[in-house]
Structure 1
């Protein structure tokens, strides 16, 4: 499993980027500002810290 970001809900807080213990997120610059992207999904350890940290519930863990 790995995180999937719903960009319709994401506000670019980068909380997921900050809390991930295996650093699988990267920060990407967009026209709306910075946002997190799942850069290394294979590194996910399914700890769900990113899911819990997201202030808008924009992240869920999905099957590979």
Structure 2
């Protein structure tokens, strides 16, 4: 109790944890509901190459792709 806590940050963290659990994704740093989330890496090379050409998954590289929920 001696350290202050931001209720807004606590609610944002709770939303991020619930989103991660419900959708199997990883909210990035400073994520807010409605922002893009990070999808898990592809399990096969074929899936990774297909994801690189899919407009739903903007990818910086084959292992770092995002999507909107």
Normalising by the residue count of structure 1, what TM-score does the alignment of the two structures yield? 0.31
Higher relative contact order (CA 8 A, sep 6+): 1
Name the one with the larger helix percent: 2
Q: Which one has a bigger Cα radius of gyration?
A: 2
